[in-house]
Amino acid sequence: VAMPGLLLGDEAPNFEAETTQGRIRFHDFLGDSWGILFSHPRDFTPVCTTELGRAAKLASEFSKRNVKMIALSIDSVQDHLSWSKVRGEAPPPRRGGARGAALLRRPEEKPTRNIAQAPNYVFVFGPDKKLKLSILYPATTGRNFDEILRVVDSLQLTAYKKVATPVDWKPGDSVMVVPTLADEEAKKLFPKGVFTKDLPSGKKYLRYTPQP
């Protein structure tokens, strides 16, 4: 799925920017961690304010998953600092300046565009600095942080194990054995057992195993 200038598997731009935590270079900021970059149309927008507070409350959950968060809007770092005080909580570092916002803005969009029409992006990067997932929200719909945590759990599990996560999967649920893994190899790799679901076709390609 194409996002503005970035496709899944593309390397993150190694931009430099001023943030509420000082000047950063993005790859250095990520280090060996996973990273999530959120875009916001402007500071002090109501929906984004609720998201900022939710991100702050979930900071320990993201930290447990070795995920660093950073947010981006077109406003100045000083405005970002003022916005942080609205919630009275420590927010993720935020990058400032209209030039920086161009990274996430579609080419036809301008800083003066109607805020209600401005897209909000979620980019998830792996420790290899490559884009693993992107989600696009309209400005009128707040992001679902429970879902963002869920997909991070899925991305991290499937990055290191030869499994995939089925529809509506939650941590602790059974996972699917990837199709490229032969049955005999799967039995050795997953000692808790591999089972299949019966299908009307009789095919046995839906192979499950308890979460490793």
> How far from the centroid of its chain's Cα atoms is residue 92's Cα?
14
Both tokens of 33, joined, read 């961690």
Known active-site residue 48? yes
State the catalytic residue, choosing from 48, 52, 70, 77: 48
DSSP letters, 82-110, are HHHHHHTS-PPPEE--HHHHTTTS-TT--
Are 18 and 97 in contact by the 8 Å Cβ rule? The answer is yes
Q: How far is it, in rounded angstroms, from Cα 131 to Cα 121? A: 13
Angle between helices 77-87 and 46-57 (to 10 degrees): 70
Q: How far is it, in rounded angstroms, from Cα 93 to Cα 105? A: 19
For residue 41, give the DSSP letter: S
Both tokens of 27, joined, read 């790859």
Q: How far is it, in rounded angstroms, from Cα 148 to Cα 143? A: 8
Extended beta strands in 29-74, E state: 34-39, 67-72
Q: Could you give phi then psi for residue 124, rounded to 5 degrees?
A: -110, 125
* Catalytic machinery residues: 48
